[in-house]
Amino acid sequence: MIITIVLTGGLLFFLAYGVLQARRSRFLAAAVGLVSIGGIALVLAPDSATRLAQYVGVGRGADLVLYCWIVVSLIVSLGLYLRIVKLHEAITLLARDAALKAAAARSGRRE
């Protein structure tokens, strides 16, 4: 019972976060909403996880949840890595601009 309350509370908080992100990214909000609502459903009806697991060919509900968590984590990690790469590209452009401007300023002072 206690764990049900804790998990449901946490997932409701996560759902609220997703709703707040809707203006920034509808895709992110939808993904967070899906995970939260799906998670709450599994927490409130734990047997449904087992039935769903057997339907898709996995032995136990807990295993299904774990596999889904691994896949979601890998996708999120890849997405974050690609964002970091994009940020690095932006930093590169800024650093290059700074180097070229400094060179132009030094050249202007010498002339």
Distance between first and last Cα of the chain: 79
Residue 73 or 92 having the CB closest to another protein = 92
Which 8-state DSSP code applies to residue 20?
Answer: H
Residue 63 or 89 having the CB closest to another protein = 89
Give least dist CB 98 to another protein, A.
Answer: 5
Residue with tokens 């759902």: 15
Measured between alpha carbons, how far is 91 from 105 in angstroms, rounded to an integer? 21
Residue 9 or 79 having the CB closest to another protein = 79
Give least dist CB 99 to another protein, A.
Answer: 5
